[in-house]
Amino acid sequence: MPNSEITVLTSPEPRIEDILDPDERLIWSGRPEHGLRYFQHVGYERVANWSMLAGTIVMWVAWAFIASKGHRIDTLYSAIFFGVVTIGFVAYASLQADFRKFKLNNFLYFLTDRRAIILFRGRNWRLATRLYCVAFDHAPFYPYEVVASKPYPSLRVGTLLSENVVQPFGFGLHQPGHSPLAHKMTSPAFFDYISNADDLLDIIQDLAAKDP
């Protein structure tokens, strides 16, 4: 597992010199290329939305059957219940979209000759806005991988031993496109939704292999 380091930057608009060490060379920088807008659903968020849509359709088809066969009071109560559930689905999907949009719009990624770096602007437990810098040294035996997703894949660049390590973020590095099981034991870190993930994977593996 690559060595990880988490630092909090005091400057609201840091210079690249505040992020990199003096002898470190920047190779690439970027940010997520998808999921930045409200309706750009990603990963498991898309699965959840389609599931809720299917459930809503099934409910109202069932209500039509109840309305045609049941008593008026049964029709009214079922309509109220199905309406509340539908509103709940819409509210949940909206909150997920807002959360994902906020998170992905506040990520910046840096690849250097020594490390993969994720810079995130978020609030700590006191609701104060801070810049958090999570860095992972390139490691020759770490299982880097490109995780397929539409329209762009994500690149796994490191792992933190516990989600608790990044609680100053409030929710760690997790965002709705990740598997709900991905953060139960360790917390993987990704360059999310970048079109050149395969090229970056080759670069990281080459750099890790050269590390003495």
Provide the whole-model pTM: 0.77
Query: Smallest Cα–Cα separation from 160: which of 133, 136, 132, 124?
Result: 136
> What is the chain's pLDDT, residue by residue, as a tens digit (212 residues)?
667 787 877 776 778 888 898 899 999 999 999 999 988 988 888 889 999 999 999 988 888 877 777 666 667 788 888 889 999 999 999 999 999 998 899 999 999 999 999 998 877 667 777 788 899 999 998 999 999 988 899 999 998 865 544 544 445 666 777 665 555 557 789 999 999 999 999 999 999 988 65
Predicted confidence at residue 129, as pLDDT, reads 76
In 3-state terms, what secondary structure has residue 162?
A: coil
Count how many residues are written for the chain. Answer: 212
In 3-state terms, what secondary structure has residue 179?
A: coil
Token pair for 74: 């049964």
Which residue matches tokens 């035996």? Answer: 141
Beta bridge partners of 137: 115
- Report CA-CA distances (Å) from 113 to 4, 28, 42, 143, 204: 15, 10, 30, 18, 8
82, 60 contact by CB (below 8 A): yes
Domain residue extents for the chain: 4-14+26-34+106-210, 43-103
**How many Å apart are CA 94 and CA 71, to the nearest integer?**
34
**How many Å apart are CA 118 and CA 174, to the nearest integer?**
13
Cα-Cα-Cα-Cα torsion 161, 168, 35, 31, nearest 10 degrees, comes to -80
Predicted confidence at residue 170, as pLDDT, reads 47
Mark out the alpha helices in 5-160 (DSSP H runs). Answer: 16-19, 43-69, 72-105
In degrees rounded to 5, what are phi and psi of residue 151? -90, -10
Which residue matches tokens 């390139």? Answer: 138
Amino acid identity at 44:
Y
Beta bridge partners of 106: none
**How many Å apart are CA 175 and CA 43, to the nearest integer?**
10
Token pair for 127: 């609701």
Please give the class, per CATH, of domain 4-14+26-34+106-210.
Answer: mainly beta
